[in-house]
Structure 1
Amino acid sequence: MTAITEPAALLERDRASAMPTSQRFVLPLAPSLERRRLQVYLTLMVLDTLGIVAAFLSVGMALGRHDIAALSDLLPLFIPLYWTCALNMGVYSVRSLISPRYAQVQAIYSLMVALTALIFLFYLAHSSVEIGRLSLQLDLLASAVVLASIRSVMRSFVVRRCGPTAENVLIIDDGGGIVRIPNAWTVATREHNLKPDFCDPHMLDRLGLFMTNMDRVLVTCPPERRAAWGMVFKGSNISGEIVDPDVHALGVIGARRGNDFGTLVVSAGPLSLKGRAIKRGMDIALAGPALLFLMPLLVVVAVLIRLEDGGPVFFRQQRQGRNNRLFWIYKFRSMRTQQLDHAGHRSASRDDDRITRVGRFIRRTSIDELPQLINVLRGDMSIVGPRPHAIGSLAGNKRFWEVDSRYLLRHSLKPGLTGLAQMRGLRGATDTEADLSERLQADLEYVNGWTILRDIRIVLGTVKVLIHHRAF
């Protein structure tokens, strides 16, 4: 996707010991740290493994063990146990990247728990492996020293890769109290004409661009605008927080508190890193082979569309995706060129005079949607998710977000080729507000209860409704 710039944007970088300095930036404000953090975690896991092996071998050779071969039975069990404990005790977490002391303490705790679990397993299995208490104690001590040293040595590498805080934090100043966080970005809404208008797709797109790659976004605003910001955050794939001075004063449980301010956590991305990786893996595994397998059909359809009226094969339309960002969706053109509705103000009807003969067939069989496999491979869409709507779409006489303010919540996940609503047969024109409400309820049910097994069931269930009485 083409990079978007804000030529007039004067953005502020709030540093720990200095006042913000206005500069020009190309949006998004910061590169994504998610992949970098993952690379650091994997590097630390490899170094930890090598360090533990080296520590155990060194102790064995120093003691002159005649049974040093027993390490071949000990280490293959101990290493996975340590990984399991370390992953669950925050050894590979953002907090550990920020605080080497915390990482060292948690790594040592993980060693102790893993060693205890190993002894317990050997006892249950009546293992014949014999290692003395002194050997185990020295193994533990040597491993602890090595792991602690690794984190001290790796500190500079972590800072170079992920920065001093290992997180991208954005503060949106919308006229509330002053909030300063070291190394956070600060954007003043008045300087960039930003506002939490969830009825304006283009404004939401701009806000989404500012929030791209941010791990946390805080907004400080007057009380009357908190609800609007809350809705914007809930429809975004970010951890969104609204600054509330009372939180710090009252010490509310479940809220976040800084040195001199407090925030109400009002949203969080519905999928973890693991969940997003699994979902993206499924998208690529299905979309790539499907595109190759269906290529002969796609070519035939493209030729038929071209032969009928000589117009373009594809139809592109802007739609709202994850984080309220606009993207171009691809479809086979099914309407006459001069009557294309790029804004989506008019939904297709059963006897729509704009639809061509070829278009009527490919719409009835859902073939017109197949080019969206390209959107899936590009990362704009997913195989399963809430269907993306044109920004000019109406339910009755109202825009979708005017019918129900919860409409934005469906944008916290990537839009899909199919979804729970489509599997249930909820598709076609939204002639009434009830038509939208039924689909929205299904979309919110999907967003709040995602599992990979549900995605698989939806894909299989969609096959039954590819040809549908409301597909026109």
Structure 2
Amino acid sequence: MFRVDPKQAVLTHISANADGAGATLGVDAETAARAPIAPTLSHKLISGFAQLIEAVLLMALGLGIYLFYLGGVDAVLYVPLSLGIVAAANIAFNIARTHRIAAYRTLFKQILQVLGGWIAVLLVVVAGLFLFKAGDLVSRVWLGSWALSGGAVLIAYRLALRALVLDWSARGRLRRRTVIVGGGAGAEALVTAIEKSATSDIELIGLFDDRDDERSPEAVAGLKKLGKVADLVEFARRARIDLVIVSMPLSAESRLLEMLRQLWVLPVDIRLSAHMSKLRFTDKTYSYVGDLPVFEMADRPISDWNLVFKWVFDKLVAVFALIALSPVMLATAVAVKATSKGPILFKQDRHGFNNKLIAVYKFRSMYTGMSDVRAARLVTRDDPRVTPVGRFIRRTSIDELPQLFNVLKGELSIVGPRPHALEAKAANRLYHDAVDGYFARHKVKPGITGWAQINGWRGETDTVEKLMARVDHDLYYIENWSILLDLYILIMTPVSLFTKSENAF
């Protein structure tokens, strides 16, 4: 897996204007970016739910037969044994690779593999009972009935699952929006291989290549060239690209590194096609797009199940915090309204996930006539624009509490890189001009608090060094995210408000 060390300052700068828009796209790229995008489903989530439902069905069937035939006798034996059989069956099904979208589409092959795994697990159980002379402890009627009815349930379930997956495939719900980097004969071979092996899972949008000579024609295998690699950054943000497949030989090291440095800021999976490599590795070295072997170069952070876990964490914490902190928020609203003219809340556009603009809510901390909507001027110590109440709520971060509503709307997370104002500057330079790779912070949803904030990097960023320290901490968080890390940051946030607030004005 490719990793970039932000402290080495090796990232290529991706230019963007104040509202996050990049260079103008060509006509074909603009048309593709504006095309309607159908909602899609995650393959990993489908597989996970399919396994869970299958396990629940088998477990319910086994326990149902046990309760009906044995009436709940010897539960201390039958319940753990049932759990063990179901767990072993799930492992067997995964070893046979039956929990993949490609496997769900098959008919006889899938059913034979599932029945084979189910029978194999039960034979191992029977052999174990025989070897340990425990056959008299387990009802043969229960085990035999479960074996037969379990096989029937597995067949029925897999047929229903196949029908559902085929329907989703026909409606394009399982396709990953994909672009290819590269051109010429190599890209043509790649497009042909994808169309043969992954037509139901991959939607090819176009290709991007920095070359302009005969090695890179305007169309390859019917797929249009939409621009250069630098154009792909803006295109991927506007066209919701899921996957980038690079068609370059491993020997083109300098081109690969240059491409990765430009695309690293995007929340997409990046894969290097193995079809151009003359080297052959073991199967474990590759991952697959359909049947096409690829090398993993970069992954979208916090995706699939992790995205579900983080969504649940955000919503639960936001609801609990709004209830628990409602007296504080009510008192703050009264204080803001009573001590200065103007609205209670202040709304400001900021960059959200993948550079999308979001309107962030805060308690108003400045005099209305002096509010700086785009934050072109940093707030400094004893800033005359800040009201007396504003100084207190800014130092204690109470002004950020209305952003809990942004979390409920799905625009912010509880924990993540803090969203910065559009015209915020460090040493009179816009943030994205001051730090190369700055927009890599936006590969995940921004948060109310973050790793940088609990480590003292909150408040004023008047120097490039302070901004770089904040960005370094944000990138560390993205690379090392876990629910436990989010929980730790959440717990440490109130502590840091009292121990590391010297930069908050």
Structure number with higher relative contact order (C-alpha < 8 Å, ≥ 6 residues apart): 2
Cα distance in 2 for residues equivalent to 1:122 and 1:348? 77
Any idea what SS the aligned residue of 1:170 has?
Answer: strand
User: Hey, what's the Cα distance between the residues in 1 that align with 2:240 and 2:474?
Assistant: 23
Q: Residue in 1 aligned with 2:103?
A: 96
Check the 8 A contact 2:59/2:83 in 1, yes or no: no
Q: Give the Å deviation of 1:102.
A: 5.8
Alignment partner for residue 177 of structure 2, among 167, 170, 175? Answer: 170
CA shift for structure 1 position 260 = 9.8
Secondary structure of the 1:246 match is coil
Q: 1:283, 1:376 within 8 Å by CA — same for their partners in 2?
A: yes
Specify which of 322, 336, 340 is matched with residue 305 of structure 1: 336
Q: Does structure 1 residue 32 correspond to structure 2 residue 40?
A: yes
Change (3 A) 1:296 1:36: same
Query: Where do residues 390-409 of structure 1 align in structure 2 (5 Å cutoff)?
Result: 390-409=421-440
- Relative to structure 1, the CA distance from residue 304 to residue 72 in structure 2 (aligned partners, 3 Å threshold; closer, same or farther) is closer
Residue in 2 aligned with 1:156? 163
Offset of 1:46 from its aligned partner?
4.7
CA drift of 1:443 comes to 2.3
Secondary structure, counterpart of 1:466 in structure 2: helix
**Shift of residue 342 of structure 1?**
3.2
Contact 1:318–1:327 (8 Å) recurs in 2: yes
Unmatched runs of 5 consecutive residues or more in structure 1:
1-7, 13-21
CA distance in 1 between partners of 2:27 and 2:59 (Å): 47
Q: Give the match for residue 8 of structure 2.
A: none
After the TM superposition, which of the residue ranges 111-120 and 433-442 deviates more from structure 2? 111-120
* Residue of structure 1 equivalent to 2:269: 239
AA partner of residue 415 (structure 1) = P
1:208 alignment partner, one of 224, 229, 237? 237
Using the alignment, how far apart are the partners of 1:444 and 1:161 within structure 2? 36
Residues 1:193 and 1:226: Cα distance change in structure 2 (over 3 Å): same
With normalisation by structure 2, the TM-score equals 0.70
- Structure 1 residue 31 displacement after superposition: 0.9
1:111 is aligned to 2:141: no
**1:456-467, aligned counterparts within 5 Å?**
456-467=487-498
2:453 maps to 1:450:
no
Q: Which letter does structure 2 place at the counterpart of 1:150?
A: Y
For 1:342 and 1:192, how far apart are their aligned partners in 2? 40
Indicate the residue corresponding to 2:386 in structure 1: 355
- Superposed CA offset, 1:40-71 (max 9, x none): 555544555566679x79xxx9xxxx989889
* 1:186 corresponding residue in structure 2: 204
One-letter code aligned to 1:435: K
Deviations 1:160-179 (A, max 9, x none): 24558873222225663342
C-alpha change, 1:206 and 1:365, in structure 2 (3 Å) is: farther
CA shift for structure 1 position 76: 3.5
Is 1:471 equivalent to 2:504 in the alignment? yes
Tell me how far apart the structure 1 counterparts of residues 280 and 483 of structure 2 sit (CA, whole Å). Answer: 38
Q: Which ranges in structure 2 are unaligned for 5 or more consecutive residues? A: 1-25, 209-223
Displacement, 1:363? 0.5
Which string of whole-angstrom CA distances, capped at 9 and with x for unpartnered residues, describes residues 398-445 of structure 1? 444445445444333322211122111111222222212222332233
Q: Report how far residue 288 of structure 1 moved.
A: 0.4
- Scaled by the length of structure 1, the TM-score of the pair is 0.75
Q: Structure 2 counterpart of 1:360, which letter?
A: R
CA deviation profile, 1:173-217 (whole Å, cap 9, x unmatched): 56633425314333347889776559xxxx9676334226x4x44
Residues 329 and 372 of structure 1 are in contact (CA less than 8 Å); yes or no, is this contact kept in structure 2?
A: yes
- In structure 2, how many angstroms separate the alpha carbons of the residues matched to 1:121 and 1:111? 17
Aligned length: 440
Whole-Å separation in 1 of the counterparts to 2:474 and 2:133 = 49
CA distances 1:93-149 after superposition (whole Å, capped 9, x unpaired): 4343344556435534542564367554897796852445x9867864664465245
Secondary structure of residue in 2 paired with 1:30: coil
Equivalent residue runs for 1:325-364 within 5 Å: 325-364=356-395
On the 8 A contact 2:176/2:203 being kept in 1, the answer is yes
Aligned to 1:84: 87
1:371 equivalent among 388, 399, 402: 402
2:160 is the alignment partner of 1:129: no
The alpha carbon displacement at 1:293 in A equals 2.5
